[in-house]
Structure 1
Amino acid sequence: MKKLILTLAFVVISVSASAQVTLGPRITLISSNLDLREEVANVQAGDAEFGFQYGLFARVKIPVIGLYVQPELLFSQTESTITSSTQDVDLSFNRVDVPIMIGGKIGPLRINAGPALSFLTSAESDIAGAVTDIKDNYSSTTIGFQAGVGIDLLKFVIDLKYEGALSEKFGDAITVAGNSFSTDERGNQIVLGIGFKLF
């Protein structure tokens, strides 16, 4: 993962001298929830919770075909809850997300879509104050997709995207009220992002 981050950073720096490149910081708000992969009596996932991402984005315009490529490097934090009549489990996940969007403009709007790579850095469960590391229950790397619309206002870059998972990421040791079952922490989510063009 470190090699990938260094490679992305090198590519961005290498092309930043071009007038066709935009670079800047980015923060996003995400709404997601944990998916239960099987039905368990009296156990259900909690309501969708908000998480956040922060990092950098770059946009490389390809004037010949009128498209652009927008890679992002984001550090993500999300939380989910599993509830039952007797016990609640709070789950937290930290990831490095790398969406790579390809898009074009229709009037003032940008339309874009592309793959989204995700690297899990930590995962924990909290049951009545007892925190357990559950990172080994999940795949360290998954692939998803994002698609949405955006608009540029002055130096601000605003995007609203839908994200889905292409590879499943199960946890098979989540236990609530004596029941163990699989979960998928890469459920579908809504992403609202705001970036600022430094140049």
Structure 2
Amino acid sequence: MKNKPKSFAVFVLFISLFPVLAQGQTYSYSTDYQAGAKIKLVSARMNISSELVSTSDASSEVGYQFGGFFRVNINKVFVEADLLYSKIKTQLVFNDFDGIVGFDPLAEFEFNTIEIPLSIGYRIGNLRLFMGPSISNLVSGQRSFLNEIEKVTDEYNRTNLMWHWGIGGDFQRIFIDINYESGLSKTGESLTNLIGREFIPRQRQWVFSVALNLLRD
């Protein structure tokens, strides 16, 4: 995680200077704006190295996000910010829970968050390459375990940080993106709370999004 901010800064500097270096001398720029609605589908997987817990048959976190975006284009460079409401669900199996052999209860988690992805990228024709941080703020959390449903919002860190990389395409007013994101998950905190020892499973997720530009050229 420590190297990612440095990589992000180098990337920002490179794509910012690339048009200047390419033209060599005079440099003029044009600016335009895009904004609209966006929806995302999320599929996340976690690497959990433990005999105490395993993923269920679903084996992944699934969810959706919806909200809006705003993008500033400066020649081929762009900066984009999203504001999204997110709902994520996951299932985990606790093996031989509480020392009872063969007792493998299923735990279900549901988290509602506000997501603020920030992206900077470079356009090549209708294609876009981008990367940046994603800030996640917990609104509410719920856990279902051993026939009990609990509100667990206060047991979790309110803010998480992830990093994303992606490629997208602009098709008139329709924008399609595919992101790869990595970071630490709320599920890691869930494991720590239930088992009583620290788990930090790294979460990797694929995000597919479709956006509609509501600003006309």
TM-score range, shorter chain: 0.7 to 0.9
> 1:35/1:134 Cα in 2 relative to 1: closer, same or farther (>3 Å)?
farther
Structure 1 unaligned regions, length at least 5: 1-18
- The 1:74/1:185 distance shift into structure 2, 3 A limit, reads farther
**CA deviation map 1:137-162 (0-9, x unaligned):** 32111211111100011211100001
Q: Deviations over 1:75-103 (max 9, x none)?
A: 11111111145310001111101001101
Cα deviation 1:74-133 (Å, max 9, x = unaligned): 111111111145310001111101001101112331001111111011111102542112
Alignment of 1:1-199 (within 5 A): 20-33=32-45, 36=48, 39-41=50-52, 43-46=53-56, 47-63=59-75, 66-83=76-93, 84=95, 85-165=103-183, 170-171=188-189, 172-174=192-194, 179-183=195-199, 187-199=203-215
TM-score (norm 2): 0.72
CA–CA distance in structure 2, aligned partners of residues 186 and 133 of structure 1: 24
How far apart are the structure 2 equivalents of 1:52 and 1:39?
Answer: 28
Q: 1:181 to 1:140 in 2, by over 3 A?
A: same
Q: CA RMSD in A?
A: 2.3
TM-score by length of 1: 0.78
* Distance in 2 of aligned mates of 1:76 and 1:190: 14
Structure ranking higher on relative contact order (CA contacts 8 Å, 6+ apart): 1
Gaps of 5+ in 2: 1-30, 96-102
Please state whether the residue corresponding to 2:203 is helix, strand or coil: coil
Q: Percent identity?
A: 27
